[in-house]
Amino acid sequence: MPDMLRHLVPFIRRDARHAQVLLLATLLGYGLLVMHWSAELPRYAVLLGTCLAMQTVAVVVLRMPWSSLKSALITGLGLSLLLHVGSLLTAALAAVIAIGGKCVLRDRGKHIFNPGNLGIVLAILLTGDAWISPGQWGSGALLLVLFGSLATMLLLRVGRVDVALGFLGTFAMLQYTRTVLYLGWGMDVLVHQLMNGSLLLFTFFMITDPKTTPNAPRARLAWSMLVALVAFLLTEKVRIQAAPIWALFLVSASTPLFDRMWKAARFEWSIPLHGTSSTTTPLA
């Protein structure tokens, strides 16, 4: 076991996507083994298979690196954890949109939309046969520990803790102001609102995608707070289910503007263990 760990740790640290795949797969395994999601296995197979197939086409046609299949696997796992569909055809469509959008919708070589977010939103809008189930994870301290501890390990690796804290802190503050200060409800109501599996999954694994967040730290903080504000308004004024997903979609269109206002180096997935530069292609 020590020998295996000695080889495993450098492998995970070589590319942040290795840790992300491991963590998302762990969450999916938790759902299958503990929450009995085995009936959804065909959906998972279609989502993962279509994402990998589409990325393979992109590798061949657009000359992307084969390492980009890791990103497609991350997208497929994210869709599996968040998206519900009425048919496998809808699942395939969501995966095609997610990977296709990543390849086409770019600004100076950088993704504009989070692939999983784009696939979910457009699948819902175009088919009426897709939805997000915020309650599928349940709630409780165990869930918070599961998402929080595993996700923090990942975020510290890719440097997007500021995005998670900016979004969740702002969203919690707005909910506290309305729920506790304005409506006079107890803190238990606020905790119930925030102890939501889909919200935590969104916070730690979607909005923090380093390839689609603004490059500069100040820009990321302002951007994440804007996503939280839009999510709060959609929740309280429009009563949209899973509002953060929609808020991210709307605010992502402004990411190129944030990058122009605050200039900084673009994130690349492959990070050397000893050094700060990376030679990963922008199309990865």
Q: Cα dihedral sign for 239, 240, 245, 248?
A: negative
Which residues, listed in sequence order, are joined to residue 131 by a DSSP beta bridge? 84
Sequence-ordered list of residues with C-beta below 8 angstroms from that of 190, at least 6 positions apart, any chain: 172, 175, 176, 179, 180
- Distance between CA 31 and CA 38 in Å, rounded? 8
pTM for the whole thing? Answer: 0.88
**pLDDT in the model for residue 11:** 65
| DSSP strand pairing (106-107 vs 83-85) | unpaired
**Nearest alpha carbon to residue 224 among 172, 175, 155, 163:** 163
Tens of pLDDT, residues 146-158: 666 666 666 666 7
Closest CA relative to residue 61, chosen from 97, 104, 94:
104
Domain ranges, ordered by start, for the chain:
2-132, 140-261
Q: What is the mean pLDDT of residues 219-226?
A: 97
CA dihedral 40→111→151→277, nearest 10 degrees, is 140
**pLDDT tens by residue, 29-56:** 888 888 888 889 999 999 999 999 999 9
